[in-house]
């Protein structure tokens, strides 16, 4: 996964992702929390890899619903043309309306 894809899927600036990869800035627990689902790595594991202590709390152990799939969708969507992106949004809206019925 490219730094740009990680950036978009995690809502973190691409420059932040690049600085983390280059070791220019140390990771923070908040950054790890945002990036872990995108990388499909449990947050606690990524905290350990980053050399940060883990604190078990109910909010820290809960993962976002479908976070891996959402990250993948954002990554794919970032490479689509404007027309393809519009069609993807239309499909998502149709799926959401089907769910209500």
Q: Could you give the angle at which helices 14-22 and 29-39 cross, rounded to 10 degrees?
A: 100
pTM of the model as a whole? 0.54
Mean pLDDT, range 7-19, rounded to an integer: 94
Domain ranges of the chain: 3-100
Per residue in 24-73, pLDDT (tens digit) is 999 999 999 999 999 988 888 888 888 887 665 444 445 556 666 777 78
Res 60: pLDDT: 46
Contacts of 26 (CB under 8 A, 6+ apart): 50
């Amino acid at each position: 996964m490219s730094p740009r894809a990680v950036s978009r899927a995690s809502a973190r600036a691409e420059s932040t992702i690049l600085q983390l990869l280059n070791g220019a800035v140390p990771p923070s627990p908040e950054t790890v929390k945002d990036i872990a689902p995108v990388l499909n790595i449990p947050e606690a594991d990524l905290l350990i890899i980053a050399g940060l202590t883990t604190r078990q709390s109910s909010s820290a152990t809960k993962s976002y619903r479908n976070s891996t799939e959402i990250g993948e969708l954002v990554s794919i969507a970032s490479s689509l043309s404007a027309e393809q992106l519009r069609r993807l949004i239309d499909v998502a809206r149709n799926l959401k309306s089907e769910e209500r019925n």
